[in-house]
Structures are given as C-alpha cells and as structure tokens.
C-alpha cells in the first residue's frame, strides 16, 4: 500500500507527501477533503481525475482539513491510495431529506456486500441526513459483522449546505459508501470525546427526530438553563461547551450529541443527531486537556490490530471540538501523530458527525464531539 498527498492553498497545488515507488496510474481510491466555498470555486474533480485516471474519487466539504500534522482552513487535501492486495468499490446514493436515510443505508449495503468485504467507509451529506438512521440500516443489513466508519460532510460553522461527490465535483444531497475488499487488509478504529459528565441521567419524554422538547416532562431548554447557570446568558454559543451524552437503552454505551440551536419560543433544543423518546441523557462539560488527551487515546485504540504503525490514518473530528478548542485545535492532531509516529500518512477533516464503533466488538454509531480515527494497512 502506497499513498500520495497534494494540497490546494493560496490558489495553487502543492506536494505534501509521497510513498516510495507510488504510481498515480495505479491508485484505486482518492479521498479529497476541502472547505465548501473552496470546492465550489476550484471545481477540482477534473484536475484530480487527470492525476489518478483509474481511481474512485470521493470529494466532500469540511469544517477544517487535517494534513501535515496540522489543521487548515480554506484548503483541499487530496490523498491517493495505491493498494497492492485490496479491491475498491464505491457507490453514491442521492438523498433529499432525512426521512430517506434508512433506505439510503440499505441501498449502500446491498451494493457493497460481498464475501470478502472488509470494511465500509461512509462520506455523507451532513445537512440532509439522519445519521443515526443511516448507520442503523447499515448495521442491520451487514448484521453488525462489517466494520463501518466515516463522517458527515461539514460547512465550517456556517451550517448552510454540505457537498459530497463520487467521480464528479461534489454537490448537495449525496451519500458515498466505499467498500474495501480482501483478506490482507487490516482496519483499526478508535473514538473518544473526553467530555466530563455531570448531574444525573434523565429521560427524554418528548422529542421529534433531532428536536428535544421535554426531559422528565419538563421543558428541555428550561432544564438545560438550570444546569448552565451563568453560561445560560451566553446561549446559543455556550451550547458547544455543554453537549449531552445519550443512551437509547440502559445497556447501550453513551454517545455524545452536539446542540446546534435552541428555540426560546418552544423551549426546545435541536441536536446534530437523533434524540429518540425514552433515551437517557446526561449533561456534559468541556475540559480542554481531556479533549486533547482523548485524541491520543483514540489513536492508541486504533492500533490494536497492528504489529507496526499503520500505513494510513483518517481522522474525523467534530466541528464542535474545533470551536471549543480554538487555538489549541492542532494539539489533538499532534496527540494522534505522537502515537502513530512519522511513518503513518495522516489525513482527515472536521465534520458534522463522526461514524465509528465504540470498540472492535460494538456496533457502529453516529457520534458528535468526538475524535474518530480509522487506520488502514495491508498485511
């Protein structure tokens, strides 16, 4: 397995890294992560196709690009992958609204399932999809036996629209599933938030998709403000500092949900993921050092299948973490690099949702406010 990376910044393309003896004509997969307005202005597909004519090319918008051990804005990072013993297949499914999410997951699984399927990597529109329903359908179709990871496309902190494309310039309303096939492939996953929980768990007693109306039969926003104390006056911006952990059932591992907006009139909160009735929620708060440490822990977890450093690491972190960490954002990328060492090619993006299992034996979930890492090598 070999890789080549190029970046677009300051209106020109730059070489970033390249494995020895990499042949662009043999690349089977290209991942291109870029800021939405930069993608719209540059329309990079034709250029990328000219470099890697036989590859499946996946392009998506971001809330920040990860490469060169740093976090970038207003750029594009292209990572071309030349596998030696692995086959690649990709499928693109259109989506008009979140109600079609489960059907999209079923169609992706049907298109990619095969006896030698090793993993599925998902790159989805981040504005129109119900990520929870998408992943639940994929889990059911694959019987929880296929490792699934990926992320929802971002749009900085604008939340206007997100773009995804397979073998074309990216547009709104697309979900891409990438299947990697072969017995020589090794895949690792790691995901962790690093948020501190406080207060008791409470039950969601009224909700609709990702809008939370009542917790323990009290108006959700009123309960939330009670816990925020002095920070309540800083809403909605302060919501990024206080996400919620959520468990659909008592036996489930908790996942984190980002608060996107609040509605003072309805006393409700809108989240970047489903908040089903009957779920158990708990308030969380930011500790910057723990957020950064969580990135290193996620990287360490992703090394479990490997005897040596992985050849490629794809980092998908949440836009909420980037906004909370501010000038310290690069430290979470540096924490991952310290674990991997210099031999691992790193790429990634800041997202509107992260897709990964909690551990090697758990079903895949949609996460918010986590650092999620997928590691890849060929044996």
Of 143-152, 237-246, 339-348, where does mean pLDDT reach its minimum? 237-246
Of 127-136, 232-241, 266-275, 290-299, where does mean pLDDT reach its minimum? 232-241
- For residue 259, pLDDT over 90 is answered with no
Tokens of 8: 């677009």
Q: pLDDT tens digit string along 65-116?
A: 999 889 999 999 999 999 999 999 999 999 999 899 999 999 999 999 999 9
Q: pLDDT tens digit string along 201-232?
A: 999 999 998 899 999 999 999 999 988 888 88
For the chain, give the percent of residues with pLDDT over 70: 99
- For residue 258, pLDDT over 90 is answered with no
Q: What is the mean predicted confidence (pLDDT) over 344-372?
A: 88
> Among 260, 284, 308, where does a domain finish?
284
- For residue 359, pLDDT over 70 is answered with no
> Among 284, 313, 341, where does a domain finish?
284
Residues 119 and 186 in one domain: yes
Residues 21 and 122 in one domain: yes
Residues 269 and 201 in one domain: yes
Domain containing 361: what range? 2-192+289-378
> Among 236, 263, 284, where does a domain finish?
284
Q: What is the mean predicted confidence (pLDDT) over 267-283?
A: 91
- Please, which pLDDT band fits residue 159 given cuts at 50, 70 and 90? confident
Query: What is the distance between the alpha carbons of residues 66 and 348, in angstroms, rounded to a whole number?
Result: 5
Give the three-state DSSP class for 179: strand
Q: pLDDT tens digit string along 161-203?
A: 999 999 999 999 999 999 999 999 999 999 999 998 888 999 9
Residues 138 and 28 in one domain: yes
Pairing of strands 70-72, 259-263: unpaired
- For residue 360, pLDDT over 70 is answered with no
**Residue 73: exposure state from Cβ atoms within 10 A (0-12, 13-18, ≥19):** middle
Q: How high is the pLDDT of residue 361?
A: 60
Q: What is the mean predicted confidence (pLDDT) over 122-147?
A: 93
- For residue 56, pLDDT over 80 is answered with yes
Arithmetic mean of pLDDT over the chain:
93
Give helix 131-142 / helix 101-112 axis angle, nearest 10°: 30
Q: What is the mean predicted confidence (pLDDT) over 360-372?
A: 83
Residues 321 and 180 in one domain: yes
Kindly report each contact of residues 259-263 with a partner whose C-beta sits within 8 Å and lies 24 or more positions away, as own/partner.
Answer: 260/159, 260/210, 261/236, 262/221, 262/224, 262/235, 262/236, 263/221
Q: How high is the pLDDT of residue 157?
A: 85
Residues 97 and 28 in one domain: yes
Q: How high is the pLDDT of residue 357?
A: 84
Residues 200 and 318 in one domain: no
**Residue 275: exposure state from Cβ atoms within 10 A (0-12, 13-18, ≥19):** buried
Q: pLDDT tens digit string along 26-40?
A: 999 999 999 999 999
Please say whether the beta carbons of 121 and 175 come within 8 A: no
Q: How many structural domains is the chain composed of? A: 2
State the pTM of this model.
0.92
- For residue 362, pLDDT over 80 is answered with no
**Cis peptide bond upstream of 236, omega within 30:** yes
Of 15-19, 202-206, 298-302, 362-366, where does mean pLDDT reach its minimum? 362-366
Residues 136 and 55 in one domain: yes
Q: How high is the pLDDT of residue 118?
A: 95
Residues 293 and 267 in one domain: no
Residues 207 and 68 in one domain: no
284 CB-side CA count, 13 A = 24
Residues 16 and 50 in one domain: yes
- For residue 236, pLDDT over 80 is answered with no
- Please, which pLDDT band fits residue 233 given cuts at 50, 70 and 90? confident
Residues 32 and 168 in one domain: yes
67 CB-side CA count, 13 A = 25
């Amino acid at each position: 397995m070999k890789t080549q990376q190029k970046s677009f910044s300051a209106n020109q393309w730059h070489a970033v890294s390249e494995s020895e003896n990499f042949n662009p004509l043999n690349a089977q997969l290209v991942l291109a992560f870029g800021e939405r307005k930069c993608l719209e202005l540059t329309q990079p597909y034709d250029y990328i196709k000219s470099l890697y004519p036989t590859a499946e090319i996946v392009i998506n918008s971001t809330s920040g690009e990860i490469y060169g051990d740093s976090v970038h804005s207003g750029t594009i990072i292209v990572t071309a992958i030349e596998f030696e013993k692995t086959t690649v297949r990709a499928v693109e499914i259109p989506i008009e609204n979140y109600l079609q999410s489960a059907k999209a997951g079923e169609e992706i699984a049907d298109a990619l399932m095969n006896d030698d399927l090793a993993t599925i990597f998902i790159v989805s529109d981040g504005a129109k999809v119900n990520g929870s329903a998408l992943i639940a359908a994929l889990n059911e179709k694959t019987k929880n036996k296929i490792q699934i990871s990926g992320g929802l496309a971002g749009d900085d902190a604008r939340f206007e629209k997100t773009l995804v494309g397979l073998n074309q310039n990216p547009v709104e309303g697309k979900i891409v599933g990438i299947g990697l096939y072969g017995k020589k492939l090794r895949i690792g996953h790691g995901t962790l938030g690093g948020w501190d929980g406080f207060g008791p768990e409470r039950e969601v007693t009224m909700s609709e998709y990702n809008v939370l109306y009542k917790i323990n039969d009290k108006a959700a926003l009123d309960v939330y403000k009670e816990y925020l104390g002095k920070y309540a006056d800083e809403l909605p911006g302060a919501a990024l500092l206080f996400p919620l952990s959520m468990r659909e059932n008592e036996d489930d591992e908790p996942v984190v949900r980002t608060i996107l907006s609040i509605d003072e009139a309805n006393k409700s909160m809108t989240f970047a993921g489903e908040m089903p009735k009957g779920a158990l929620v708990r308030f969380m708060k930011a500790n910057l050092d723990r957020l950064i440490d969580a990135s290193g822990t996620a990287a360490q977890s992703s090394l479990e299948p490997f005897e040596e450093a992985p050849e490629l690491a794809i980092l998908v972190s949440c836009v909420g973490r980037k906004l909370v960490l501010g000038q310290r954002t690069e430290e979470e990328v540096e924490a991952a690099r310290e674990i991997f060492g210099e031999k691992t090619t790193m790429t990634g993006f800041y997202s509107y949702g992260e897709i990964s299992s909690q551990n090697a034996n758990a079903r895949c979930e949609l996460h918010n406010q986590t650092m999620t890492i997928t590691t890849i090598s060929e044996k």
